[in-house]
Structure 1
């Protein structure tokens, strides 16, 4: 059921289009309008809407650029964007969805279809917000006065994972948007084919397989997330590159949306002995720290590189960025002290301290240094073997 308080922003340079959409939506939603991309960006700085209907072909800043900027901004990146446009080419639709839009509706449109799709996207948006609030409430309940003064290693691990969970949930939401849109379109196409007496067994079989393929992708995303949350019980031999790739598969979209290049270099297979999920947690923390630093400092041509190599009896993982580096008074060891953070009030000071505990427990080391471009974190772990 729609809620009257939900806010929708219509962005279109054609007043007739705005009038049609406004008349369709104003009895159910709080509607605001913008006649250009530039005006839309100004509007969302004042009040962030629950959903944006965005035209593509506009003078000055087009809809694609508006979408890219909204997705790159922390305040608006979770707002669903639905393109409403006269552009019918598949390449146009693909480009819009790749930029982060949740749907693509071509003109002329049917009011019932518009209302149905908006209802689904707003419901998903509401569920995402509720889930985020539940996570935040869980964190708040755990942070009692006694726990703040008597942090144990297990409590540190749990709090650190909860702190990363918001980012992970955001990544999952972005990965789900496109398959959900595809499933919606395929479902409507079956109904349309049935109404036009074009629904045969071959068409139904092909469409069903396409829907199942999207569902399998979404299920795999949830399973990857679930595995990340389960602590490793004992040391095992595992491939470092595989662990890094699994983390990047979960959070890589976050880097794309911020235009941050993320490169992995691993010339040969490198296997180590340790706790794979805990290593993934350390790598995730380092990648998120680099991403946040690059975004906050608005670096030109931001880049993060992950290099994996084997040297003598040790494996080495280097996570480096071009974000300007770490304050010298935190190097070489103070950075890893509990409650030391480079993020000001946004940081907990737990992540790097916990990373050091995890790597030390695996008979490894973690160090931080500055290069001529930025910060570089170096992990060393016991080498199990390597294959060319």
Structure 2
């Protein structure tokens, strides 16, 4: 019989293990997929943003040169200028007309200088004058001068450099009376173009814009030393050991005339840190004369994705705690059943069990009060972590040993008398002093093999006091390295009780031995019989006392663990609700994000084709703000739902119901579910709004699941808010087929769920009943009607506001 019992126990353990494993894998896959989707969306948005900046800047530079060319043509046709030019050409002395001087002064500092040449390419005059030797100098052999003399058309020269200062010439032919008379040669500062169009472009904390020629020579760059240098030669000469293949491929695409955005690895030359990093690069071409310049805008990849990455780590940590909590809870339930069986066997021989049962019932009432207080005060990971009554250490695990302490809870500071700063500078081996070297190695081997262990040791306080503890340890991986979480439970009381048992045994053995020695000298048979009887009585008393002590210890431990179970159930309910709401937010955001993407594309196309209308742009901006405000309201609703409330308040039931329904709007719309909220009276009650919201959320979520499973069309949820006999009534009715009779009796039991295949926790309705009955002094009912289930809560409208 015992063999069969062991087989059943073994099968249950395997079932629990694989159920937990499947849940953990599913949760991990969901978290990873959501992270990748959100990261890809952020990357795509950043790429579009950089390409827009690069393309807009390139067009601005092109427009700048077109405007300069147009100004030169206007100057060359000016009658005052032509008159001054004829005078200069016919006279030997230098003479520069007022029109040309005015043109220079207006154009400074973008115009560096202006030269006048005759039709043969000889300098007649220049302003301002750098050297008298330039006058009458023949520069007809220059490439740009040759070209304008030959074609007699406006020419943009190649780029020249003076002390890393780039500039370019615009050459304009002068015609008078239809005849080619000379040339205006205007020297333009490229540094002025940089300050005007490029310098103020920033993308994140490190990103910047730069411009280089088709051949890769930097013309504009935030770091002056880069100007006039070749993009590849500069990188390879300074960092010869780096792999520049990605940058070379990117440069080949840029010089081929393509425009786009690439992700590649390079260095930030503007920083002192020279390590290779991942970067975005948006690039476009600005066509200048017969060639083109490459306009690029770069930004840091890690800076773009760091926010979602940080949230991803938090989510993984919380999910790990949830899985660990569920595993511990399953193990706890299993151990409770085993202990209960043993306890029932012993209760057959002890009348004191009745008394202990009554004490246990009293303690259960106290535990319920404690659970009510826990619901009020804790709903965040940090609060839960610091509220653990045991010392919790998180330490690095390297080289098969516990290394630096990276996190502790508040219990550690108080128990060991160290400050948090002191503990984070210590190794875990500085605290754990109760294990020998061989014992420590065996525990580490078990942890590496099983990932979780439990052992007894001693930890040391700041004042060298040693505390006996029971440690539960587990390995987990975070940031590509292993860490250990070590939960140390103070077992001083248990050790004292063990010593008490030992002392009791010794005391009763002494009594027996003393009694035996006192009567040792007597020889009568009557005396021997009496001695044997007394010794037997003492043994019975000793056995009863040991059993009594053991029972007290077992019941105390069971009651403590039941309290933890209740708290875990509360947190599990909150995090299960959080998971549902995160999914709803994803549904809520999908449509406005698509609309925003379409609006941005419309603005980009309008700008690209020059069809920008002020009224259309204002209309698009107004629509964008409305979409963004709607997304912000969704986050506000989420924050309100999980915001801890420590004080009761008077609130409108309709407001809570409406805000909760709004979280499901997109999911219900997507699945074709119609939801109506009808209010006969806008009643107000006294209590915690977010707790009522959790109850309504559980009702709606169950209704949606039932509709999706049982109906293919005409899915409907009706919510009625009314008042009757000074009580507020909320009914949530669906047409999802109703609840089977066998299930109806059990739906308010903890851990009973009909949605095991959908990861149902089985505590949603149990927690809803606890909230309504204990926190609102109300009642909760469920009935089948109108081809569906109807969840009904009745809450008294009286409260602290009436009693005040």
Bin for the TM-score computed over the shorter chain: 0.5 to 0.7
Residue 229 (structure 1) shift: 1.2
| Cα shift readout 1:344-385 (whole Å, capped 9, x = no counterpart) | 443211101100111112111111122252221110112159
Correspondence 1:43-122 to 2 at 5 A: none
* 1:196 lines up with 2:379 in the alignment: no
Number of aligned residue pairs: 269
Name 2:582's counterpart in structure 1.
169
SS across alignment from 1:245: helix
* 1:140 lines up with 2:320 in the alignment: no
Higher mean Cα deviation, 270-279 or 180-189?
Answer: 180-189
| Aligned counterparts of 1:221 and 1:164: Cα–Cα separation in 2 | 16
Cα-Cα RMSD:
3.6
State which of 225, 236, 240 in structure 1 corresponds to 2:649.
236
Residue 171 (structure 1) shift: 1.8
SS across alignment from 2:738: coil
State which of 338, 343, 352 in structure 1 corresponds to 2:750.
338
SS across alignment from 1:336: coil
| Aligned counterparts of 2:708 and 2:314: Cα–Cα separation in 1 | 22
| Aligned counterparts of 1:312 and 1:336: Cα–Cα separation in 2 | 26
Correspondence 1:277-292 to 2 at 5 A: 277-292=690-705
| Cα shift readout 1:193-216 (whole Å, capped 9, x = no counterpart) | 333334466555444333333222
Name 1:368's counterpart in structure 2.
782
Change (3 A) 1:152 1:200: same
Residue 286 (structure 1) shift: 0.8
Name 1:351's counterpart in structure 2.
764
Name 1:275's counterpart in structure 2.
688
| Cα shift readout 1:104-158 (whole Å, capped 9, x = no counterpart) | xxxxxxxx99x9xxxxxxx99xx79969973644522443415863444443232
| Aligned counterparts of 2:713 and 2:603: Cα–Cα separation in 1 | 47
Change (3 A) 1:193 1:315: same
Change (3 A) 1:205 1:374: closer
| Aligned counterparts of 2:617 and 2:714: Cα–Cα separation in 1 | 47
* 1:293 lines up with 2:706 in the alignment: yes
| Aligned counterparts of 1:300 and 1:181: Cα–Cα separation in 2 | 26
Name 1:379's counterpart in structure 2.
793
**8 Å Cα contact 2:588/2:665 also seen in 1:** no
Gaps of 5+ in 1: 1-79, 81-111, 116-122
| Aligned counterparts of 2:664 and 2:623: Cα–Cα separation in 1 | 25
State which of 630, 640, 643 in structure 2 corresponds to 1:217.
630
Gaps of 5+ in 2: 1-40, 42-258, 263-303, 333-560, 800-804
Name 1:120's counterpart in structure 2.
none
Residue 338 (structure 1) shift: 0.9
Change (3 A) 1:158 1:184: same
State which of 669, 688, 700 in structure 2 corresponds to 1:256.
669
Name 1:7's counterpart in structure 2.
none
Change (3 A) 1:201 1:310: same
Name 1:316's counterpart in structure 2.
729
